[in-house]
Amino acid sequence: MSSQPILEARGIVKQFPGVRALDGVNFDVRPGEVHVLIGENGAGKSTLSKILMGVIAADEGEILFEGRPIRLRSPLDARQHGIGGVYQEFMLVPWLNVAQNIFLNREPRRWKGLPFVDHRRMHEESREILSAFGLEVDTRLPVKHLDTALQQMVEISKVLSTSPRVLVLDEPTAMLTDREVSRLFERIEELRRQGVAIVYISHRLQEIRKIGDRVTVLRDGRYVGTVNIRDVSDDQLVEMMVGRSISQMYPRSRRAPGAEALRLQGFSVKGGPQEADFVVRYGEIVGLAGLVGAGRTELVRGIFGIDPIQKGELLIDGRKVTPRSPNQMIQLGVGLLSEDRKRFGLALKSPVHWNTVMASLRRHFPRGVVRERKVQSIAREYVEKLRIVTPSVLRQVRYLSGGNQQKVVMAKWLDTKAKILIFDEPTRGIDVGAKAEVHALMDQLAQEGNAIIMISSDLPEVLGMSDRIYVLFQKRIVGEFKHGEANQEKIASLMLGIGTGVKTNAS
Amino acid sequence: MQVKTLLGQWRQIPPAIWIVVLMCLIYGKVAPGFFTLSNLTNVAMQAAPLLIVAVGVTTVILTEGIDLSVGFIMGLVSVVVSLLLKAGLGIWWAMLGGLGAGFLCGLTNGVMVASVGLPPFIATLGVGSMAYGVGLVLTEGQSIQALDPVLLFLTNGSLAGVNMSIILAAAVFGICWLLMYETAFGRNVISLGGNPEALRVVGVNTRRVSILVYGVSGLLAAVAGLLVASRTGSGYAAAAMGWDFDAIGATIIGGTSFEEGKGGIGKTVLGVLLISILRNGLNVAGVHNMYQFALIGLVVLGTIVLDVRFRQTVEGGLKAQ
């Protein structure tokens, strides 16, 4: 490893209206290393990465490239220095195809000097780039038809095709399954050996240990420190991130599962799970593990009456129910916390209190006349109970952190008096501290006698939180474990369809 | 099995085509003059300026914008050409002046939307209203005669037996097709409606692309305005009232949608044909002008409703597979 940093940021300050996003931050990265940048949401990681990529300009401080100060006024400037990256936000054009996205704004030309695009070369080169990743994708497919994991791989391929010397990856694994993550890590390892300097932003401690060399911690826009990753423990890192220690990651109070809340028998959903048998009782958390596309989301969509069921039975409190619409299921006490809370869970520009009662206005105000004060006081109860951090219930939810937004969604469902709660990826995109809080709340809800179904791609979370775990593979339930019976290897191999006891129906 | 796939293919045909077929059948019955060569040429000639405007409007709609000014711009262009001719300028300068006026209006639209940040519908409506106003003031609300032979040749003349306006529309369409689908600029236009941020981070000046798109729409409206001036032999500020609806209607019927980045200028041809046939048939069948507006609105909306339904079922079918 050469010791001269290729890219260095010194004393970076960035002020946004109302917040100081970065306050005197230092950062550098050397060729052939993976320098991890961690911190809670709102710590300033993404702001710093955007400054390094020339998307936004720093107010103060300087950026040095190979020891010389440079100015990054646009992403184009950054690219000319060989700095490229993957953003946290979706940076593909949904209806352009894979090749068009990879070559956006640097399309190969058919004739030199003329603006006409060479489509054939574009597709050929795209296929090469993707197959270096082991991906067989039809490059003529619009990216909106790919699932989120593949889209993410296309974004990464898009950057790698520019052969950057500095590669910035902002939470590249947030949408990926374990298999794709390991493929990505192989690729990162390869790039590191080729001498590429890699800035890696994440808050998944396990994964940064696998690939990171050094780690810089940010907290509330301030620089906390840079350490060699081998020299610190996870606890120390977490403490640097949150400024306090978090002892127990997965809280489990004594739970006493009671009556059966929901049962599925031979449950089949169009395009989703086939012949699923499944039980969840009041007072327990049931985890659903599986790869993206294994049928987890489709299963809960079927339960919630979004997609029609083909055959099989659904029983709630022992009574047979045919789910026809989400509205009907809400009446029956079922709540679904979507994995995409910004799209399906919240009215982002509405304040906390209106979001809280969004699904239960009829119950509070049967005559249709709504009283603002009562809504506020209802919301205040939840803010207190769920420890939602907000200056007031009048605050628009888009200004809250991811963890607190998730809590507002929880408040909304609790206010419908839902007793069967389905959490789809409850802690995706939430930072460590808030994650622990969401887990504690889920534990509390189970203890209070609610039935909880949790979908999660985060295996430690599934293992730590669930009383029982169902594993899905290719639209079928292929395994069931009690808490304590399962471990990461057993579940992972079932998820991949290579474990023992797999009921595969060769098609 | 074969019957089923055949049926499946039948179902793949968008309703707009059925409506066109249906209209042709009805008109064939009630309007004897409809299926004559001279009338069909007439349809194509009427379709020519609409296609030219609609292509520009389609491009704007692809960027999630809208252009409500094209009808007004067409009127203004006809006025400018006529007045410049009247002032003694040569025809080529007069036409260049007209095209320049249209392009300028379009660029103003673009600046209002992309730089000032106004919502496209109000920006273009405002600019259009001003264009109309200027046209009225310049002519005191009168129609100005413009009987220059070169101008008249644009719609009356023909080349190798094909009417000039049809040749012109085909040429404009071809150039726009190349621009949209074979150049990086076209890619950027399509991307602008999908994810402008994605364009910005790869270094595209999205503001410039947006301004240019409105500029092109204005320029195309100007070309159509020349055709209108040529056909009527005059310049009149209100010469193309309601053309914005026809152009937007043709775009939507063709299948370009505001939200999903679907469609494109190729599909707009179908919409243009539908509206042109509808209007021509009503004329040939002797339906009074008064009733035409309501009927055309009805058919356009009806087709769009059918089309939305149709696309939902086709997509539902695709997903189920």
* B11 pLDDT tier (thresholds 50, 70, 90): low
Are A116 and B182 inside 8 Å of each other by CB?
A: yes
pLDDT in the model for residue B6:
54
Predicted local distance difference test score (pLDDT) of residue A184: 85
Mean pLDDT of B48-68: 94
Could you tell me which CATH class the domain B44-320 is placed in? mainly alpha
pLDDT in tens, A181-216: 888 888 889 889 999 999 999 877 778 888 899 999
Superfamily of domain covering A260-495: P-loop containing nucleotide triphosphate hydrolases (3.40.50.300)
**Rounded Cα gap, residues A344 and A457, in angstroms:** 19
Min Cα separation A111/chain B (Å): 11
Which of A90, A93, A106 should we substitute to test contact with B (largest number of B Cβ atoms within 10 Å)?
A93
Rounded to the nearest angstrom, the minimum Cα separation between B191 and chain A is: 6
Per the structure block, which two tokens stand in for B163? 């009417």
Compute the count of residue pairs across chains A and B with CB atoms less than 8 Å apart.
Answer: 68
Residues of chain B positioned with their CB less than 8 A from the CB of A115:
183-185
pLDDT in the model for residue B5:
56
Q: Using 50, 70 and 90 to split pLDDT, how confident is the model at B317? A: low
Q: Tell me the residues of A at the B interface, defined by beta carbons under 8 Å apart.
A: 53, 55, 74-76, 79, 87, 89-96, 100-101, 104-107, 115-117, 270-271
Task: Answer whether B319 sits within 8 Å of A74, measured CB to CB.
Answer: no
**CA of A154 vs chain B CAs: smallest distance (Å):** 13
Q: Is the pLDDT of residue A333 over 60?
A: yes
Contact B198 A76 (CB under 8 A): no
The Cα B76–Cα A452 span in angstroms is: 66
The string of pLDDT tens digits covering residues A58-74 is 999 999 999 899 988 88
Q: Please tell me whether the interface predicted TM-score (ipTM) of this complex is above 0.90.
A: no
Q: Which of B184, B185, B260 sits opposite A95 (nearest CB)?
A: B260
pLDDT at position A18 over 50:
yes
pLDDT of residue A144: 85
Contact assessment for residue A383 and residue A391, using Cβ atoms and an 8 Å cutoff: no
Give the pLDDT confidence score for residue A497 in this predicted structure: 75
CA distance B201 to chain A (A): 5
CA distances A70 to A52, A64, A222, A229, A277, Å, are: 11, 6, 23, 29, 61
Q: Of all helices (H) and strands (E), which one includes residue A85?
A: strand A83-86
Tell me if A93 and B191 make a contact (CB, 8 A cut-off).
yes
pLDDT attached to residue B73: 97
Report yes or no: B217 and B189 within 8 Å, Cβ to Cβ.
Answer: no
> Residue A44 above 80 pLDDT?
yes
B204, A105: Cβ pair inside 8 Å? Answer: yes
| Mean pLDDT, rounded, for A405-423 | 90
- Per-residue pLDDT at A502: 41
pLDDT at A500 over 90: no
Interface test with A, best of B181, B185, B195 (most A CBs within 10 A): B195
Architecture, CATH, for domain A7-242: 3-Layer(aba) Sandwich (3.40)
Q: Which chain B residues are Cβ-neighbours of A126 within 8 angstroms? A: none
Does residue B173 register a pLDDT over 60? yes
Q: Do A75 and B202 touch (CB under 8 A)?
A: yes
* Token digits of residue B278: 């509808």
Nearest to B202 among A94, A104, A271 (CB): A104
CB contact under 8 A, B194 and A94: yes
Q: Which residues contact A502 (CB under 8 A, 6 or more apart)?
A: A473, A478, A479, A494
Buried b (16+ CB within 10 A) or exposed e, A122-141: bbebbbebbeebebebebee
Cβ neighbours for A104, distance < 8 A, ≥ 6 positions apart: A93, A96, A158, B187, B191, B198, B199, B202
- Beta carbons within 8 Å of A103's beta carbon, 6+ residues apart: A122, A125, A126, A161
Q: Is A14 helix (H, G, I), strand (E, B) or coil?
A: strand
> A436-489, pLDDT tens digit by residue?
888 888 998 999 899 999 998 888 888 889 999 999 988 889 989 998 888 877
Whether the CB-CB separation of B236 and B79 falls below 8 Å is answered with yes
pLDDT in tens, A74-96: 888 888 899 988 887 788 888 88
Note whether A7-242 and A260-495 share their fold: yes
Instruction: Provide the sign of the torsion angle of the four alpha carbons B115, B119, B121, B123, taken in this order.
Output: negative
A94 neighbourhood in chain B, CB within 8 Å: 194-195, 261
State yes or no: pLDDT of A305 exceeds 80: yes
pLDDT given at position B8: 61
Per-residue pLDDT tens over the stretch B252-303: 888 887 666 667 888 899 999 999 999 888 888 888 888 888 888 898 888 8
Which segment of A230-244, A341-355, B71-85 scores lowest on mean pLDDT?
A230-244
pLDDT of residue A501: 46
Partners of B187 on chain A (C-beta within 8 Å) are 96, 100, 104, 107, 117
Give me the pLDDT at residue A315, please.
Answer: 93
- Confidence category of residue A504, pLDDT binned at 50, 70, 90: very low
Nearest to B262 among A79, A95, A270 (CB): A95
pLDDT at B321: 40
Unique residue bearing structure tokens 């209203």: B129
CB contact under 8 A, A95 and B188: no
The pLDDT of residue B1 = 43
pLDDT of residue B224: 96
Q: What pLDDT does B320 receive?
A: 43
**pLDDT value, residue B59:** 94
Closest-CA distance of chain B to residue A118, Å: 8
pLDDT value for A35: 94
C-alpha–C-alpha distance, residues A57 and A500, integer Å: 54
Report domain extents, chain A: 7-242, 260-495
**Chain B interface residues (partner A, CB cutoff 8 A):** 178, 182-185, 187-188, 190-191, 194-195, 197-204, 260-262, 319-320
| Nearest CB neighbour to B198, from listed A76, A91, A116 | A91
Mean pLDDT, chain A, rounded, equals 86
Query: Do the chains contact at B187 and A74, CB–CB below 8 Å?
Result: no
Nearest to B40 by CA among B163, B183, B130, B144: B163
User: Where do the domains of chain B lie?
Assistant: 44-320
Tokens standing for B119? 């919502």
Q: What angle do CA B99, B103, B105 make, to 5 degrees?
A: 120
User: Which chain A residue has its CA at the smallest distance from B192's CA?
Assistant: A93
Say what angle helices B37-62 and B164-182 make with each other, to 10 degrees.
30
Q: Taking CB atoms and an 8 Å limit, are B190 and A96 in contact across chains?
A: yes
| CB nearest to B320's CB, from A55, A76, A271 | A271
All residues of chain B having their beta carbon less than 8 Å from the beta carbon of residue A89 are 197
Closest CA to B237 of B129, B132, B80: B132
From the centroid of its chain, how far is CA A28?
27
- What is each CA distance from B284 to A65, A98, B37, B319, in whole angstroms? 73, 49, 13, 44
Measured between CB atoms, which of A75, A76, A94 is closest to B261? A94
Express as a percent the part of chain A with pLDDT over 90.
Answer: 31
List CB contacts of B296: < 8 A, sequence separation 6 or more: B246, B275, B278, B279, B282
pLDDT for B194 equals 79
CB contact under 8 A, A107 and B190: no
> Cβ separation of B320 and A107 shorter than 8 Å?
no
The pLDDT of residue A338 is above 80? yes
